[in-house]
Amino acid sequence: MSRRETAITTIAHPDCRRVIVGVDTHGDLHVACAIDQLGRRLAIADFATTLSGYRALLDWARKLGEVAVFGVEGCGCYGAGLARFLGAQGQLVLEVNRPDRSARRRRGKSDPVDAEAAARAVLAGQVTAIPKTGSHLVEMVRCLCVARTTAVKARSQAINALRALVVTAPAELREQLRELPATKLTSTAAQLEPGPILTTTAATTLALRLLGERCAALDAEVARLDAELDLTAQAAPRLRQLCGVGPEIAGALLVAAGDNPGRLHNEAAFSMLCGASPIPASSGKTVRHRLNRGGNRQANTALYQIVVVRLRWHQPTRDYLARRTKEGLSKREIIRCLKRYVAREVFAALQAPTTLTATT
């Protein structure tokens, strides 16, 4: 038997079959498609999005051969639970993006088709992203950041509604409240006494009081979450020591990197993740770069805020601004350059080991 015939026999043997599984994730049901190392479809099945369903999916894949890798869509959403379970079982999991729209238009759209596309993308080497583990300190920070963001948004909506009511309020209320700043306005409105709701003035007073009380409750909620976000000092102590990095900014950067920042190959990958790397846009004799409008926009905003703080208080950054201004760059262009430098500094701080564990 020749060497080539031996290789073909070994690959085709079921005991030596390497299985690549693609999973199309949904809220109640995950659809999985398994292919072998030659791209041949082996099986398609669906599983419930429960712990027993995850176990059944893993057992099903193992019965087909040696499982090489799982390609899971939506590891930050519907596929988060499955990705965590497979990672805990020692399986290699890669995060698969949504299929290309042009390819989807050509072959149609269905859950089995998407699952098979995910598996073939992994086999072709188009997918290399390792998902966030989401099981340690950074996941705790992410939950707190979600609660804080929604509380701040709700507070802004309540204040806007309060100001709108003041504009159309009866004259006696409008004259009492129209000149007050936001903080004083909410506290004053929360102390109004509407009395019986028999007139327009009484109804408006009640609405103003309820909005003021809502703003006060949201202020207390935001203050508590700000105190809890000191957890970022435990998750990344070196990051919090950087100039211009507070709890909120550190939280946004930690959430972008995840509990396992080692999944990012280098500082260039982190910069691209944050949308701070310029995109090549050259053609012919024209060599140029354009602004990167992708990436994690919350992390991009955090880098911008760090730069703004340093332009005011950090002397080396101020010297850089003066030097690049003399070279003819605008302030906007200089800020973009500084964001790239800050991303490099943040990446180094994120890679530093911490003495705390998830248990502590």
Q: Are strands 41-48 and 29-36 parallel, antiparallel or unpaired?
A: antiparallel
| Rounded Cα–Cα distance for residues 155 and 216 (Å) | 9
- Give the pLDDT of residue 360: 39
Percent of the chain with pLDDT over 90: 39
Q: Where are the domains of the chain?
A: 3-123, 137-230, 236-278+289-351
Would you state the pLDDT for residue 296?
86
CA–CA dist 16, 106 (Å, integer): 34
Asked if residues 261 and 351 have their Cβ atoms less than 8 Å apart, the reply is: yes
* pLDDT range class, residue 104, cuts 50, 70, 90: low
Return the CATH number of the domain spanning residue range 3-123.
3.30.420.40
Strand partners, 149: none
pLDDT on residue 70: 93
Q: How does pLDDT run across 144-179, given as a tens digit for each residue?
A: 999 999 999 999 999 999 999 988 888 888 888 888
Q: Quick one: tokens of 353?
A: 């080991």
Considering the chain, what is the average pLDDT of its residues? 85
Amino acid at site 9: T
Proportion of the chain above pLDDT 70, given as a percent: 91
For residues 205-226, give the mean pLDDT: 93
